[in-house]
Each structure stands twice: as structure tokens, then as C-alpha cells.
Structure 1
Amino acid sequence: MSTPHISAAKGDIADTVLLPGDPLRAKWIAETFLEDARCYTEVRNMFGYTGTYKGQRVSVQGTGMGQPSAAIYTHELLDYYEVKNVIRVGSAGAVHNSIELRDVVAGIGATTNSSMNRIRFENVVDFAPVADYSLLKAADQAAEARGINLRVGQLYSSDTFYTDAPEVEKRLSDYGILAIEMEAAAIYTLAAKFQARALAICTISDHILQGTALSAQERQESFSEMMEIALDSAVS
């Protein structure tokens, strides 16, 4: 069994899958955190691996950047491979002054400027994509156990990486949005459709309002904290 974008057989993929956007980050996660990791797909160089963490099977699948790409992989994982839990792990840009560089943020919900859900619901309703509470609770407990200050709040899933609308970003902050990323809303929506569980955990790699950013070394160290929270949540 395979799909147009994932060349895995039935049973190759675990019930819980981590979803980084960058396929090379998927490779790094598998090599760094999983035992006996095996690559199950290389279609379009979008790598997927399955291994074990603390004795339990976990997969990691690259999704590419943006909601359309993330939706393709999430849909195929949930529909064809019957995955039960998906956890996005990636970077985000802070738009709230209570958030600092290197903070780890979990999205309780995901506001978006994407038209994907408007099309899905024929412009009748604005669907509100939200995280699964049990995964969010597990992430919060995992962070507390490791002494990591996990920030929980609203994310903003944008269809544009480069923007000339700083007034909009300031308004997002005024309404309590913590950070901008590009995939969570689509992942949360598809999890709802397929009755699966979803959560997005992001590391703050840059601060949009303050104009600051992490170095390459700081990104690697902070991503490790995010991964520990995500993996502990995956096997809890």
C-alpha cells in the first residue's frame, strides 16, 4: 500500500507521527532521538522514518512548508494509514511581547488567513481549528517534568512568510496571538475530520515585533527541548 506522496506499506507507520516541515529535520529527529529508525519513504525527498522512543513506536514525517503541503501529508497519514495522533514540531515567529526567543509554544488553537477552510465549508462558516486537549495536557506535563516553561496559547497559521503588514501583526498581538507559523490550522482541521488527535509545538526562532532571531546553534539547542516535549507527549 502506498499513496501518491508516501511510499510506505501498511504497518510501516506508527499510530503517532511527528510532523516537521523540513524533511532534513525529520532525518535529524530520527537519527538523534529514535532507536532503530528506518526510512519508509523518500518520495519527492520528503523523508519519513519509524523507530522507537522509550520502547514505543513513533514515526516522523516531513510535510514541507505551508498549509497546502502539510495538508497533503496529514490527509494521507490519517486517511490511508489510519494514524491516530499527529504532532507538528517546527519553528515560529513571536508576535507577542510576553514571548521570548527560544520559548516553546503549544497552540491551543490556530487562527488563519488561509482560504482552505472557507472552501471546505463553502463560505458558510469560519471553522475554528483547535488542538486535542489530551495531547496538550500531556505536553504541558512533559514540559513541567523537564523544567521547561511551555507557553500555551493561540497560533496564527499564515499562508505568507514575507509580509508587508506590520499593523496586522500588532493587531494579532493585541488579540492574544502568541506566534506565527504556517501549518497548524490545516493539521488541526484534518485531525477533526478524521477523528484523530493533533497538537502543534513550536520553538520561537525569531521575534517579529522586536526584529531579533536565534543563531544556528541556538536553534539546534532550542529544538531539542521542543522535541523532548513532543516525544514525551507521544508516548505518554
Structure 2
Amino acid sequence: MTPHNRAKINEIAKKVLLPGDPNRARFVAENFFENPKLVTDVRGILGYTGKYKGIEVSVMASGMGGPSCGIYSYELFTHYDVDTIIRIGTSGGLQEELEVGELVLAMSASTDSAWAHQYNLSGTLSPCPNAKLFTLALKKAEELELKHSAGMVFSSDYFSSYNALGADEWKSWARVGALVQDMETYALYSTAMYLKKRALSILTMTDNCVNGKSFKDEERMEGNRNMIKLALETIVEDAK
């Protein structure tokens, strides 16, 4: 156990889905898992373990922001010996052509966060996903005919910097090709690379910053089904 996770060591699977929202963790467990079991609820951060197509999988929320995601992923990797984490998160679109509900597979992550300063690097860290997981997810998305894009994401310490001071800041990141903005991918990828573990971030574009199109409130949970399915099918494919 850790101060943030009351699950016993054998109650967390080697493969973990990591949404930010605790309610999305519950949604995954109740709608996709066989025999889900709640294994932790410290600070309202829900974690469940069950099976998907015979493979043991856990889902646990990370909370909002890079530091929160970094803490939970670090503890899962080190204290619970998790080998693979797939983030299933939401994001704001930075390119006009991205459609609401479209999936984005993060090839790399840029950031305005100081997260990587802890590694005492003399340059700029540009973390990326596990190559096998990324390739499998891309192939599976095509097989399932899921609308998707792949490229750089921008992980910000600000939930909606495009609405704050410097409201046009996101346009600079869009100009260099960032597809979407989230808050957590950079910390997850950095943590996984530092620990020599495996990570992938699959994001649902829920709100387009360019054209203003977004999910309706009642669509925001159900609209994540394709993302969740892709993550789980990637785990199944990886196990073959």
C-alpha cells in the first residue's frame, strides 16, 4: 500500500488503464470488465481490477494534472510492479479538422510543465510512448475503423490556457503541429521512460479550441467508449 492507494500488491494487474476521472474508472469497470472489484478509493480516486477477454486488467483514476498523474503512475510502476499503463483521457483539439469524438494517439508530448526538471537533464526531454503499444494501437484503430489521428500532444499545467491570460498561447503549439492539449501525457511518458516501463496515451478530442465544437454534457461519458475499447483491444493484442 501507499498513502494514495490502499490496494494490496496482488490486487493490481500488470496492465492498467489510467483515466483522469474517477467516474470514468467506474464506467470502465462496470461496462467493460468481467467481475470487477473495487481495490482502492483513497481520496476518492477509484481503482478496479477485473478481466477483459480473459486478461486481467486494472483501471485507476489519476486525478487532474501532470503531478497527480506522475505520482499515481510512479507508484503503480514501482510499488505495484505494473509494466504497462495506457492513459485514456480527454483533450481539447488544437487543429480545426479534428472531429468531436476523434481519437488521438500521442506519438510524443510537449509541455509547459517543470515535471522533467527532477531528472537533472542538461537539455529538453521529449518523451514518447512505447513503440510496440503505439504500433498495435494504431493498427487496431484502423481494423476497428475508429476515426483517429496520431501525432504530438501538448500537456499543459493549465486546464484551459486558451481561456486564460495569453488566450492565444495555444495557437503557437498548434502552429508547430500539436494535435490536442491535455494535462497528463507528458508526466506519464516521462515517468515510464525514466523507470524503463511501458506507456501509451490515447485521448478523445472532446472540445475543439479552433471551431468551438464539443460534446454535449450528456455525451461526455458515453463518448469515451471507442477510446476505452481501443485501449483494451490493444492490451489483448499485446498479450498474443
Contact 1:155–1:178 under 8 Å retained in 2 = yes
Structure 2 equivalent of residue 224 of structure 1? 225
Of 177-186 and 210-219, more deviation after overlay is shown by 210-219
For the residues of structure 1 that align with 2:217 and 2:34, how far apart are their CA atoms? Answer: 25
The Cα of 1:123 is off from its aligned counterpart by 6.0
Q: Trace 1:109-148 onto structure 2 (pairs within 5 A).
A: 109-117=108-116, 119-122=117-120, 124-148=122-146
Structure 2 equivalent of residue 207 of structure 1? 208
Segments of structure 2 that go 5 or more residues without pairing to the other structure are none
For the residues of structure 1 that align with 2:235 and 2:141, how far apart are their CA atoms? Answer: 13
For the residues of structure 2 that align with 1:160 and 1:220, how far apart are their CA atoms? Answer: 22
Contact 2:24–2:221 under 8 Å retained in 1 = no
Structure 1 equivalent of residue 181 of structure 2? 180
Q: Aligned partner of 2:135: which letter? A: K
Of 197-206 and 162-171, more deviation after overlay is shown by 162-171
For the residues of structure 1 that align with 2:68 and 2:170, how far apart are their CA atoms? Answer: 24
Structure 2 equivalent of residue 94 of structure 1? 93
Q: Trace 1:2-17 onto structure 2 (pairs within 5 A).
A: 2-17=1-16
For the residues of structure 2 that align with 1:158 and 1:17, how far apart are their CA atoms? Answer: 23
Structure 1 equivalent of residue 45 of structure 2? 46
Of 81-90 and 136-145, more deviation after overlay is shown by 136-145
Matched residue count: 234
The Cα of 1:24 is off from its aligned counterpart by 1.2
Q: Aligned partner of 1:213: which letter? A: S
Of 219-228 and 176-185, more deviation after overlay is shown by 219-228
The SS at the match of 2:9 is: coil
Q: Aligned partner of 1:199: which letter? A: L
- TM-score for both structures, normalised by structure 1: 0.95
For the residues of structure 2 that align with 1:71 and 1:124, how far apart are their CA atoms? Answer: 21
Structure 2 equivalent of residue 58 of structure 1? 57
- TM-score for both structures, normalised by structure 2: 0.94
